[in-house]
Amino acid sequence: MPVFGLTGNLSCGKSTALMLLKDKGACVFDVDKRIHEYYKDKKSGIFKKISVLFPQAIRKNRIDREKLGEIVFSDRKNLRKLEKIVHPIAIRDLKSWAKKAKNTNRVSVAEVPLLFEKNLAGIFDGTILIYAKKSVLLKRIKIKLKLSKAAAGCRLSAFKPVREKSKRADFIINNSFTIETLKREIDILWKNLNSNFKGENKTNG
């Protein structure tokens, strides 16, 4: 069965979309969730390297994700250092999962925030882009992460513009509205994912 990559900018609703697809029967994988598991494992290489490079992010023998975010998003050099630690392992795990998922009898979907930014589309049979208007994203980020408008904009700058990613995505969903609207879009998407997939088909929500 086909394996799809689901992506989108920060706070666009990727995780909600992934859970809705899981509820419909999809086999799912969340890259960020996997990384956070490594953050909690003191024996993992990721935890050990972060402890050395960013000791100020370690509190009570745990990685303080909020503090780590402040450190890396306020300095691009620090962000690149973190990416060099995390991305190779995350990509390795993603490829391993996708290979196994292709041999199942279920549609599979992986949530990959930087799918296009890191040129990972080739791992999948198709890609799904979830997006929302910038004004909506900024509001969600400010509420969710308790950031200023400037800090929220800084977080968003790590992602490619939606107009660029939309040219490469096979399925596109606008999640600027209510959860009920998203559920209807996911219903349509799920039918398309289970049909005979062809890379040229696009669904615009």
Closest CA to 86 of 156, 130, 37, 121: 37
Predicted confidence (pLDDT) per residue in 130-188, tens digit: 999 989 998 898 888 888 888 888 888 888 889 999 999 999 999 999 999 999 999 99
pLDDT at 112: 97
Residue-by-residue DSSP string for 177-202: S-HHHHHHHHHHHHHHHHS---TT--
Is the pLDDT at 40 greater than 80, yes or no? yes
Instruction: Write down the mean pLDDT value for the chain.
Output: 92
Asked if residues 172 and 6 have their Cβ atoms less than 8 Å apart, the reply is: no
- What the chain holds in terms of domains, given with CATH numbers, is 3-204 (3.40.50.300)
Asked if residues 20 and 183 have their Cβ atoms less than 8 Å apart, the reply is: yes
What are the beta bridge partners of residue 159? none
Mean pLDDT along residues 26-52? 96
Predicted confidence (pLDDT) per residue in 67-101, tens digit: 999 999 989 999 999 999 999 999 999 999 999 99
Mean pLDDT along residues 187-202? 74
Tell me how long the chain is: 205
Is the pLDDT at 198 greater than 60, yes or no? no
Residue 26 phi, psi (nearest 5): -75, 145
CA 101 distance to own-chain centroid: 18
Sheet-wide strand order for 171-174: 27-30, 108-111, 3-7, 126-131, 171-174, 203-204
Cα 124 from Cα 143, distance rounded (Å): 33
pLDDT at 201: 45
The alpha carbon torsion through 60, 146, 152, 142 (nearest 10 deg) reads 150
**Using 50, 70 and 90 to split pLDDT, how confident is the model at 197?**
low
pLDDT at 205: 47
Beta-carbon count within 10 A of 81 CB: 17
Alpha helices in the chain (DSSP H): 14-23, 31-40, 45-53, 65-73, 76-101, 134-145, 149-156, 162-166, 179-194
Predicted confidence (pLDDT) per residue in 116-128, tens digit: 999 999 999 999 9
pLDDT at 199: 45
pLDDT at 77: 96
